[in-house]
Chains A and B, each alone.
Chain A
Amino acid sequence: MGGKLTVTQLEQKANKIRQDIINMLVEAGSGHSAGPLDLADIMTALYFNIMNIDPSKPEWSERDLFFLSNGHCVPVQYAAMAERGYFPVEELGTLRKFGSRLQGHPERTKLPGLENTSGPLGSGLSQAAGYAYSLQYLDNARHRWVYVVTGDGELNEGNIWEAAMFAGKYKLSQLIVFVDRNNIQIDGSTESVMPLEDLRGKWESFGWHVQEIDGHNIESIIDAASMARAISNKPSVIISHTIPGKGVDFMEYDYHWHGNPPGTIEPPGSPPKADQAKQALMKLRTLDGKITPGDLH
């Protein structure tokens, strides 16, 4: 790959990944919509700019690592990996189908390029912390980085705070966590289900360096990762404020879309089921002004 993509190119890539997600979910007929859509910008920044990786060598010994802790958001990781060249984009259509490498929740042993198995919430951060501990204390590999994405609802899990305490104690400075702060979980808003605030204060009190960013601003994401790498005596968390369902107007901010794909539910304000996927793609494709709605028919 010659040179890194420009910010505009990254934004276009994120849009393409959102379209991939809609297509995958419609084809699969089940899965989560809101989280994968709102993580598209972070995942694009990670796979196309931030991480030192080689899609042709997923086990490359010098690679940076990515651990997905909220495994239900894996469609966005699969889409980013396919767009980055880990496997053909066409394979995205096999998501959740029998015989597919793209399991409903990520399984390390099924697909090269995955670092961990996750789904039951709260354990991905610990797995990443274990790897980061190894790099820092056992391997003397201070030039490699371990990136993690967690959900915000996932922070209800006790396992997360055990990991946070552990990483704080050992000052795992190569561990960089993006919290997808989209404020929803299955039963409603995070603050009504189990309040997380003061979230910044919680992480700081566990010994972490905390940043808060607009999780849809590619430049902010890249800058925050750069800042996190410069903090050499603490693990870093980047609380990334996102809009659930970002990019598809009838899904945005609506927790009903947390665990459902287009075409399966009709919450208030959404189009009829049969039209949802088409409208979602239309919305996404017109975002960058390259395709007119007429092209979709």
Chain B
Amino acid sequence: MNYSLNPSLYDDEVEQEPIRAGFGRGLKAAGEANDKIVALCADLTDSTKMSDFKAAFPERFIEMGIAEQNLVTVASGLARAGKVPFTSSYAAFSPGRNWEQIRTTITLNDQPVKIIGSHAGVSVGPDGATHQMLEDIALMRVLPNMVVIAPGDSIEAEKATRAVAENGKPSYLRLAREKTPVFSKVDSPFEIGKAYVLREGHDITLLGTGTMTYQLLVAAQQLESRGIHAEVVHVPTIKPLDEATILASVQKTGRAVTAEEAQINGGFGGAVAELLSENLPTPLLRVGMRDRFGESGDPDELIRHFRLDGDSIAEDVKEFVSKTPRYHQGF
């Protein structure tokens, strides 16, 4: 394990920043490095933080209006013309509304268009269920050729943006609206398709994607004091999944938990369930939205209500451990 975590990670005053802010910085930096990069937005330029790029490269920014189907299909045409288009809207609208266009003109057509879905998850808060996108991970990861990434914090979002700018593939980047704790550091590693062990343990593997990794770190800290030594693995890339890292950890611990601010059905939890059932059948607890929609409320209130906070996860994991036998090879 060589992942350097933010030393003030467990402090109450841990630095917080919206993940989308990291995307904004990353896109501007990617635009400086590569003049083929263009940015398209569906009337949410400040909100999705494409504004940094727009200010720096107005001639490479295209305002699309509130038209998400056209947003991604025009991007497909721009990619045919040799450009690297980044498209942004709220995840509920893109890829929520335009899935078929993404399927046909971007993934089947294999064009390196980047779909940026901001404001994903219940932490969108007061806007309510219509705007709290929970199905995007499932929608995007079933598409052949598509890369799916949910960065854990703003620093990682910046790195992920730079990485997808140069990967030559259709890619989906999932962003959150609210400020969230920054658990990584500028020199922490990020590579598409890699998972990272953030904390070692031997009793259970906690696998997190997106902002939920922070909640798992908090949960692991609490579990430690109750005598449960949890290993925390951060999985920012949901597709392609880092199967080797996940299997190696689960092989060691014999129990697994996934956490995501999304539907567990078909989402990250679904992806890990598929991997384990085919390779290493293991008792699995999936933390996330359990086949239901969100609702209006304060983001922290909603996170607690749906038991997505570190305290709730620690309790649920403790119960899971107490009544679940550890997997042993050959049992």
Contact = CB atoms under 8 A, between A and B. Distances in A.
B110 A109 contact: yes
Contact of A166 (B70, B79, B104, B110): B70
Interface string B67-108: 101100111111111110100000000000000110011001
Interface string A103-136: 0000111000001111110110011111111110
Interface in A70-125: 107-109, 115-120, 122-123
Interface in A161-182: 162-163, 165-166, 169
B59 interface: yes
Which size class do B's interface residues fall under? 20 to 34
Contacts of B67: 162, 165-166
A175 B84 CA distance: 21
B257 to A, nearest CB: 39
A158 B81 contact: no
A130 B76 contact: yes
A60 interface: no
Nearest to B105: A123
Contacts of A166: 64-65, 67, 70, 74
Given A115-B80, A138-B60, A130 B69 contact: no
B160 interface: no
Interface string A190-229: 0000000000000000000000000000000000000000
Contact of B78 (A115, A116, A117, A131): A131
B81 A134 contact: yes
A203 B108 CA distance: 30
B42 to A, nearest CB: 10
A116 to B, nearest CB: 7
6 contacts: A118-B104, A118-B105, A133-B77, A137-B59, A162-B69, A165-B70
Interface of A: 67, 107-109, 115-120, 122-123, 126-135, 137-139, 158-159, 162-163, 165-166, 169
Given A129-B77, A133-B77, 9 more contacts: A130-B73, A130-B75, A131-B77, A131-B81, A133-B74, A138-B81, A159-B70, A162-B67, A166-B74
